[in-house]
Structure 1
Amino acid sequence: MIKNLLRISVISIMFFASCSKDDNIKEGSIVIEASQKDPLSALEINAKIDESINTKGSFNWKESSSHLLWSAIAQGQNIVTIGFGNSKDDIERAKLSDNEKIQNDLLAIIMKYEGTNLDKTLISSDEYLNLIDVVISKQETIIALRKSKYIRYIEPGDYKYFEGKRVLEKMASGSGSGCGYDASTLSTADYTFITPNSKAPWTFYKHNIPSAWSYSTGRGVTIAIVDTGVSPNQTLLGSSFNDGNSSGRTIQKYGVYVDSIWPWSTTTDGTSDLCGHGTSMASVAAAPRNDNGLPVGVAYNANLVTYRAASNVVLEGYHEQNGVKNAFTALGNRSDVKIISMSMGHIFSVGKIEDGIKYAYSKGKLIFCAGGTSTSFTTFVGVIFPASMSETVAVTGVKEGSTYEKCDVCHTGSKIDFTVVMQRSGSGNTVPVDSYYDNQSDYVGGSSVATATTAGIAALVWAKNPSWNKDQVLTKMRQSASLYPNKNPEFGYGNINALLAVQ
């Protein structure tokens, strides 16, 4: 939740500014070369981002020039996110005693160089994290802020990298890992009927998940899915979630995504999945085991919390990034949630999402993120953000077979921790899931389904060992993987044997 915590007048802010030792920039001391007075185009900005990823393997706004940063801000409604603190690790407001004074000092710098008042400067001030969203139009303001010792990062709050590449439509084309409402008739070779009348996907047997159910079904553990929400048309993730062999559990649905082009808008569009992706992920992780004749989830007795945090799998734009940040901080504050799974991301880091994930991680959450799924337009990227973070567990998909081979659309790299078999060697079929609509099934693949599957396995392990912390659960999962104790540079510790993990 974003709340405007500022309850002071412009006069008091200017007083803080006059007393601040950090605001020591003299009027007229910032000189911008003539060649950098106009902002770069979106194509020019993207070219520099791509160059960094190709040469260094990553891109971060911290390492960019002030001109590049300001150009991206100008291309994104002049919205800016500022993370502040006394050090790079100062992310939590409750742990920074002078957070209000620092925030006021920074706002005063902005108003001084922009020539505006507070109402036209501050969009929001986060309730839990040391970050604010503001409006900045001048490059001089960015340069002045970057001189402050209190700045952890300054980033464009609404720059859309993919918009210029015209690929979001491809990401949402129903390719098996993005959006789509499709239903498919499942091949009988891709599932096994189990009592009372559920379908266990073929891939579960590659990880000994059905055998692990003799020891644990996830009961008592709560998994959170941060994604595009859950379909209101799928009763197995609604009224029939607590049904059959899946009893004594709950599903809770939340919506933090604001469907608006205006950053000032705060009204969310509800909990319902309007994409289809989130429904598939919830199904893989925890769909019920009952007599409906549909695919069962890995942890079919676990509780489930779903968040509609974005409209699509690409976390691009102010409201999607804000929604994800808000979901992670809210989940971090819940003592009952142990596992968070997110199969969405971006090709470079986003400061406010980083802060949200670090906040949840500091509260003891085990966080799984997708290593990346794409076709031709981002194949040059390795493991995407936030799977690239040290606080997350990165997962990708591999093909069926005796050797490791990534799935056709999956990313690999040194940041990968685990793999899941999710593409058949012969037919190429992926993983059976409950469809967007009731009484229908579909196939879904990529690193997305691999991530939700791994989160489900983690729930089995944690339910078997309820006194463990996240590090103990993760260690047991690593020890149960096929490549342990070695870590492959592309596939991490490999495929987890769920039966070994719960024994």
Structure 2
Amino acid sequence: MVQDDNIALEPLSQQQINAIIDKELMEKGSFNWSQVDAFVLWSALQHGQGILTVGYADTPYSETKDAKVIEAKNEIINIAESIESDGMLNAKSDADTFVIHDPKILNYIDLRVNKMETVLALKYNPNVRYLEPSGYRYFYDNEGAKSSSGCDKTPSTINSADYLVVEPNTQVSWTFYKHNIPQAWSYSTGKGITVGLIDTGVSPDQPLLGSSFNQGYSSGRFIQKYGTFVNSIWPWETKTDGPDDKCSHGTSMAATIAAPRNNIGMPVGVAYNCNLVSYRGTGDVIIDGYHEKRGVSQALTELANRSDVKIISMSIGHIFTIGNVSDAVKYAYSKGKLIIAAGGTSTSFTNWAGVIFPANMDETVAVTGITDGVGYTECEVCHKGSKIDFTVIMQRSNDSNRTSVCLGYYEGTRSYVGGSSVSTATTAGIAALIWARNPTWSRDQVLNKMKQSASFYPNRHPDFGWGSINALVAVQ
């Protein structure tokens, strides 16, 4: 029997909790918090500001919450509140902050939970789909802070062999030619298609992704920028820090998808006439910590509710499942969105984990990067596995630093960008070319065309899916 007094319990350390997670990942290939007992969950809460995310009801979303769904939610709140308060919750301020977040469409709530008894009571409640300590961070340094993964604003020195110049004086990355993207432009440039991008935002110092988005061969389109990420240690804080990229990763993805084709000698995007809706949902590429999880979930929900958005590109993820993001992915999928996600880019300390979340979901299209060598070899830091759907050639086999070329964070600069991140953005751009060529098509029709135009079709490779898409074939 668990003691009632949490003071008598010594929680596991973060290192001990991560060891449990790693063991599950190594043995089963995946992890979610339902695989651990109440004590591990409670221990993670002690390292995560006591924020417990509770997925409730038998469905991840309800556009109109009926009486049964509302009853399930209220029952969970009442159970948790009665245990946490011990009958002494009288202050209105305490009651107001007990429920930190209650989204309108997705069926989850964020609660402040401190007691083991609450975790036990909810873990076995039939109305609960999942319990997650959403403030817990798997990735942290010795001071408990997460590194800024994937962030680097420094411009690159570009090898002249890594791009070609086309009219009207635009640079085209060498990687585009490996997929016949420039040849596909004779048939489609992405015009009329809106791509949603969830990442770290877009640089305010890159006018080609701002005030100069429409110029040259790119015209009659729009770029919109939003922010759902709250850059705060306090879970109850709701003010976002805006749409601007402070990392550089989101800028590189936006540039790869949609940078304009003009005469100023800068790199162009795959779908240079598409519209782009950017969301700053995270601070870096790893969805870790309460506000990043909530920010990405909210961004997905908002993009799902836009009828003009056809494609959602997510070059971000986590090593294991995140409940509220999974709920939002399923909601966006129900709205017909083509959700393209990165299969994983990391150093040796995590690339053993296989395809990461949310790319490992059935509702997403998973992409990884390969080299330009003979056969199929994943890029130096790319993941592979049975969940991968497509590959993109994005790294020189003889030089891992020479990857895809795109606009830099600052005006007049260029950058190399690699991994499954740029592979995902490139694939999102190709999907926009296909959809613009066939504007009445559904998501499934576009996806089938992507498969039929890929190198392994009709046979699926065990590690690289359908292979690399031939964009020219896809739009003809």
TM over 0.5: yes
The structural deviation recorded for 1:31 is: 6.1
For residues 404-423 of structure 1, what are the structure 2 equivalents within 5 Å?
404-423=376-395
1:323 maps to 295
User: For the residues of structure 2 that align with 1:111 and 1:146, how far apart are their CA atoms?
Assistant: 15
Q: Are residues 1:194 and 2:166 paired? A: yes
Q: SS at 2:370's partner residue?
A: strand
Alpha-carbon RMSD: 1.8
CA contact 1:315–1:345 (8 Å) conserved in 2: yes
Q: Are residues 1:71 and 2:43 paired? A: yes
CA contact 2:51–2:133 (8 Å) conserved in 1: yes
The structural deviation recorded for 1:100 is: 2.1
Q: Are residues 1:229 and 2:229 paired? A: no
CA contact 1:249–1:301 (8 Å) conserved in 2: yes
CA contact 1:257–1:319 (8 Å) conserved in 2: yes
Instruction: Please identify, of 120-129 and 65-74, the stretch whose mean Cα deviation from structure 2 is larger.
Output: 120-129
Q: SS at 1:253's partner residue?
A: strand
Residues 254-291 of structure 1 show CA distances to partners (whole Å, capped at 9, x for unaligned) of 01111100011000101110000000000000100001
Q: Are residues 1:285 and 2:257 paired? A: yes
The letter of the residue matching 2:53 is T
Q: SS at 1:98's partner residue?
A: helix
Match of 1:357 among 305, 326, 329: 329
User: For the residues of structure 2 that align with 1:354 and 1:92, how far apart are their CA atoms?
Assistant: 14
The structural deviation recorded for 1:45 is: 0.4
Residues 150-200 of structure 1 show CA distances to partners (whole Å, capped at 9, x for unaligned) of 10111002001111578977653xxxxx11111123211111101111001
Q: SS at 2:55's partner residue?
A: strand
1:132 maps to 109
2:466 maps to 493
For residues 9-28 of structure 1, what are the structure 2 equivalents within 5 Å?
none
The letter of the residue matching 2:414 is S
CA contact 1:228–1:278 (8 Å) conserved in 2: yes
Match of 1:309 among 281, 286, 307: 281
Q: SS at 1:416's partner residue?
A: coil
2:399 maps to 427
In structure 2, the CA distance between the partners of 1:42 and 1:107, relative to structure 1 (3 Å rule), is same
1:379 maps to 351
Instruction: Please identify, of 92-101 and 404-413, the stretch whose mean Cα deviation from structure 2 is larger.
Output: 92-101
TM-score (norm 2): 0.95
CA contact 1:110–1:121 (8 Å) conserved in 2: no
CA contact 1:42–1:164 (8 Å) conserved in 2: no
Match of 2:268 among 287, 296, 319: 296
Q: Are residues 1:104 and 2:81 paired? A: no
Match of 2:225 among 250, 253, 271: 253
The structural deviation recorded for 1:39 is: 1.4
Residues 6-54 of structure 1 show CA distances to partners (whole Å, capped at 9, x for unaligned) of xxxxxxxxxxxxxxxxxxxxxxx87689999321111110000000001
The structural deviation recorded for 1:147 is: 2.2
The structural deviation recorded for 1:376 is: 2.4
The letter of the residue matching 2:100 is I
In structure 2, the CA distance between the partners of 1:423 and 1:469, relative to structure 1 (3 Å rule), is same
Q: SS at 1:155's partner residue?
A: strand
User: For the residues of structure 2 that align with 1:386 and 1:112, how far apart are their CA atoms?
Assistant: 35
The letter of the residue matching 1:355 is D
The structural deviation recorded for 1:128 is: 1.3
Q: Are residues 1:182 and 2:154 paired? A: yes
User: For the residues of structure 1 that align with 2:239 and 2:70, how far apart are their CA atoms?
Assistant: 26
Match of 1:447 among 400, 420, 426: 420
The letter of the residue matching 1:482 is S
Aligned-residue sequence identity (percent) comes to 55
User: For the residues of structure 2 that align with 1:96 and 1:301, how far apart are their CA atoms?
Assistant: 42
User: For the residues of structure 1 that align with 2:347 and 2:145, how far apart are their CA atoms?
Assistant: 12
User: For the residues of structure 2 that align with 1:190 and 1:471, how far apart are their CA atoms?
Assistant: 34
CA contact 2:344–2:351 (8 Å) conserved in 1: no
Q: SS at 2:389's partner residue?
A: strand
Q: Are residues 1:366 and 2:338 paired? A: yes
User: For the residues of structure 1 that align with 2:324 and 2:368, how far apart are their CA atoms?
Assistant: 24
CA contact 2:140–2:147 (8 Å) conserved in 1: no
The letter of the residue matching 1:435 is G
1:397 maps to 369
Instruction: Please identify, of 140-149 and 291-300, the stretch whose mean Cα deviation from structure 2 is larger.
Output: 140-149
In structure 2, the CA distance between the partners of 1:212 and 1:166, relative to structure 1 (3 Å rule), is farther
2:92 maps to none
Q: Which runs of 4+ in 1 moved over 4 A?
A: 29-36, 164-171
The letter of the residue matching 1:331 is L
Contiguous gaps of at least 5 residues in structure 1: 1-28, 173-177
CA contact 1:432–1:441 (8 Å) conserved in 2: yes
Match of 2:311 among 339, 343, 346: 339
CA contact 2:148–2:283 (8 Å) conserved in 1: no
Q: Are residues 1:158 and 2:135 paired? A: yes
Residues 366-393 of structure 1 show CA distances to partners (whole Å, capped at 9, x for unaligned) of 0001000011221221001111111110
In structure 2, the CA distance between the partners of 1:336 and 1:120, relative to structure 1 (3 Å rule), is closer
CA contact 1:93–1:130 (8 Å) conserved in 2: no
CA contact 1:244–1:290 (8 Å) conserved in 2: yes
The letter of the residue matching 1:385 is F
User: For the residues of structure 1 that align with 2:467 and 2:213, how far apart are their CA atoms?
Assistant: 31
Match of 1:481 among 454, 457, 469: 454
